[in-house]
Amino acid sequence: MTIDMNASYQGVIKDLFPNAKIIIDSFHIVQLMTRVMNKTRVIIIRAFNTSNGEDKRNTVGSSDTGD
């Protein structure tokens, strides 16, 4: 049985269908991962915005080669 990530569904399904395999649908897994990655991205961007300009110039992928 495919369900979303709501924990209360799992208990009910196990009671009603004890032999059923419970699978969390991929939409909700991708949605959760996207939210976590976005929150992490925001934390990192805010850290750069509160630091001095030197930190921003020394990031990986910067176009400044130091020549």
5-46 per-position pLDDT tens digit = 777 888 888 899 999 998 888 888 899 999 999 999 999 988
For the CA atoms of 51, 52, 56, 59, what is the dihedral angle to 10 degrees?
A: -70
Residue 36 domain-assigned? yes
Residue 35 domain-assigned? yes
pLDDT of residue 15: 92
Q: Among 37, 66, 43, 40, which residue's Cα sits nearest to residue 54? A: 66
pLDDT of residue 9: 82
Instruction: Provide the domain count of the chain.
Output: 1
Residue 60 domain-assigned? no
pLDDT of residue 58: 62
Residue 66 domain-assigned? no
